[in-house]
Structure 1
Amino acid sequence: MALTQHFTHWDVFYSDKLTQIEYAGRDVKFDAVASAKAVASLHLATSMRSFRAEKLSHMVHHLIHNNPEAAAEIYQTFKDKFPIVVTRDLQAAKAWIKQHARANETKGIIASSGAVRLKPEGIFVKNRLSAADWFLNDQDDVRSCHYLEDVATEFDIQGLELDWCLVAWDADYRYVDGKFEHWKFTGTTWKRRQQEEQQRYLENAYRVLLTRARQGMVIFVPLGNQKDLTRSPLFFGDTLEYLVACGVVLAGEIR
């Protein structure tokens, strides 16, 4: 931490929420800072990103950390103002987001940078994205987010937001037998992320993706393909059921 290396003479005041996993993770510690004090009033409790759902970040926190009951309970308090649905059909997901976005409200597809096996679905996370074109261009520009073709990853969208998000969920962060598993696609196969740092990195990537929408989002969970070992349906079924357990609405007509 820069404070302990270069600014040991400073008097440090920080939000009492800063050391919580939900906000900054486990790396933020002030034990080595000589003069550091947590101050509750420094916490910015009102989210400007999700002006219709201040509790979205709390829900996502519990979703990421395998607390579906808590996530569902929180979502019930704002679901009428901030719709979240899940589907197995990408075209239906695009139709949903187009139906909900009005006038010049922004909409776009986002996915984890590790979601490389979404490629068969037509979602290419490895394509280089022009952020200016994607965020700022008009709806009739094929490079813009509105066109729902180019996909932004957590790197492109961190610190920014859209009105409506289509979050594409791959097998890199899969829910299996009651818990999340962390994977990375290398070469031609999936490999487990064994290091805690890498696991937390992936969790934070999905945390970013799930908190970029200001008005609502649709989550696309692929069906998979039994003939493709890298996209086995077993990678996705439990993930879908888990999201539903978190309160996310399953679009029944396109299940």
Structure 2
Amino acid sequence: STQNTETYEENAVFLSGNGPLVIVLQEALARDDVFSSLEQGNKIRKTEALNKSKAFIQNIHHFRDEYLRDENAPIERVVIFDEAQRAWTKEQTASFMKQRKGIDNFNMSEPEFLIGVMDRHDDWAVIICLIGGGQEINKGEAGLPEWFTALKENYQNWKIWVSAELNDFEYNMGEDLYADLNHGVLEEKEKLHLSVSVRSFRSEKVSEFVKTLLDCDANASSLIDQLNGKYPIAITRSFDLAKSWLREKSRGTERIGILASSGGVRLKPHGINAKNDIDPRHWFLNGKDDVRSSFYLEDV
């Protein structure tokens, strides 16, 4: 969001390395802007609305490239970093810079560079890291330790607020994240932890069920009983039956669609092409009358 006053402007930007997510959010906000303007008797072009949404929903790589060229402080005072645990290590970032950008001897991790960009402000800046726990860290991804390493080694003057949940192994990967930080710079805040997934607002047990299932915990079976009647879960080997079930269960503005593993190449005999290149804007946002939308249960 952007807040204006008579004397200055404070900007916030949402950054993500998830390309499809960025595209969908930019498009959704632009469409909403056009629709809202028409309702108010105004008219705004789609391209103008899209330029506005692109200003505060950005791909992290585009943001990084911009402030590699520009050594001034960014216009943004607040940066929200989605999936912060997936930021790149120093080695991954250096490799990318050398191969894709022709920059040799780049010696900063993605967290270190981002903090450095925001540290260019003389007075204040805020970095909000959104963190997903219990997720596999892929090759080249730094995890949370890299953020604290950057703070300990180069930016000890920053104040840090964290959730107490960061003490769990699924977040700290067994490392003492706070070792060697200056005394008094870190404070734990219970309210910083989102204990219930906003994606599963109908049942507080859904997130717990998913976690126990992925952990191969036998308690997952007992949680199914608690979800019964609150959150629909079904298992079938029939693709046609699965599609029929989805259409029957869908109510009102609820959206339905098919997800498949990108490695599921043997799904082709069932008419599911997991390697198909789709436009996420159409799949996630278009209506039931568009064959490219998730509602048609054709593209995955």
TM-score by length of 2: 0.45
Which position in structure 1 is the counterpart of 2:243?
94
Once residues 27 and 111 of structure 1 are traced to their aligned partners in structure 2, the CA distance between those partners, rounded to angstroms, is 32
Structure 1 residues 73 and 140, CA, compared in 2 at 3 Å: closer, same or farther? same
- Once the two structures are superposed, residues 36-77 of structure 1 have per-residue CA deviations (whole angstroms, 9 ceiling, x without a partner) of 444323212233211111221111111011112x11222322
Shift of 1:15: 1.1
CA distance in 1, matches of 2:274, 2:159: 43
Q: List per-residue Cα deviations over 1:229-249 (Å, max 9, x = no partner).
A: xxxxxxxxxxxxxxxxxxxxx
**CA distance, structure 1, for counterparts of residue 175 and residue 227 of structure 2:** 30
The aligned counterpart of 1:145 is 294
Q: State yes or no: 1:9 paired with 2:157.
A: yes
2:191 is the alignment partner of 1:41: yes
Aligned-partner Cα distance in 1 for 2:192–2:243: 39
| Higher-helix-fraction structure | 2
Distance 1:104 1:122, change over 3 A: same
Whether 1:64 aligns to 2:214 is yes
- Please state how far the C-alpha of 1:127 moved relative to its aligned partner: 0.8
- The structure carrying a bigger strand percent of its residues is 1
Residue 29 of structure 1 deviates from its aligned partner by 5.5
Q: Deviations over 1:59-113 (max 9, x none)?
A: 1111011112x11222322221101010010000000000000233210001222
**Helix, strand or coil: the match of 2:254?**
coil
Structure 1 letter corresponding to 2:173: R
Gaps of 5+ in 1: 152-255
Change (3 A) 1:28 1:102: farther
Map 1:187-226 → 2, pairs under 5 A: none
Asked if the contact 2:196–2:207 (Cα under 8 Å) also holds between the matched residues in 1, the reply is no
Q: 1:4 to 1:136 in 2, by over 3 A?
A: same
Selected match of 1:76 from 218, 222, 225: 225
Q: Secondary structure at the match of 2:246?
A: helix
CA distance in 1, matches of 2:265, 2:192: 39
CA distance in 2, matches of 1:144, 1:29: 45
Unaligned runs of 5+ in 2: 1-145
Between the aligned partners of 1:119 and 1:61, the Cα distance in structure 2 is 29
State how far apart, in whole Å, the 1-side matches of 2:175 and 2:265 are.
31
Corresponding residue for residue 58 of structure 2: none
> Which residue number in structure 1 is paired with residue 166 of structure 2?
18
Name the amino acid aligned to 1:63.
L
User: RCO higher in 1 or 2 (8 Å CA, sep ≥ 6)?
Assistant: 1
Distance 1:16 1:139, change over 3 A: same
CA distance in structure 1 between the aligned counterparts of 2:225 and 2:232, rounded to whole angstroms = 10
C-alpha contact (below 8 Å) 2:290/2:296 kept by paired residues: yes
| Amino acid in structure 2 at the alignment position of 1:49 | R
Structure 2 contact 284–293 (Cα < 8 Å) conserved: yes
Partners of 1:54 and 1:28 lie apart in 2 by 29
Percent of aligned positions with the same letter in both sequences?
A: 40
Aligned to 1:132: 281
User: For the residues of structure 2 that align with 1:71 and 1:27, how far apart are their CA atoms?
Assistant: 25
Tell me the amino acid that sits aligned with residue 47 of structure 1.
Answer: S
Call closer, same or farther: CA 1:73–1:43 in 2, change over 3 Å: same
* Number of equivalenced pairs: 149
Deviation track 1:183-220 (CA, whole Å, cap 9, x = no partner) reads xxxxxxxxxxxxxxxxxxxxxxxxxxxxxxxxxxxxxx
Cα distance change of structure 1 residues 95 and 114 upon mapping to structure 2, 3 Å threshold: same
CA gap 1:150/1:38 in 2 versus in 1, 3 angstroms: same
Q: 2: distance between equivalents of 1:112 and 1:27? A: 29
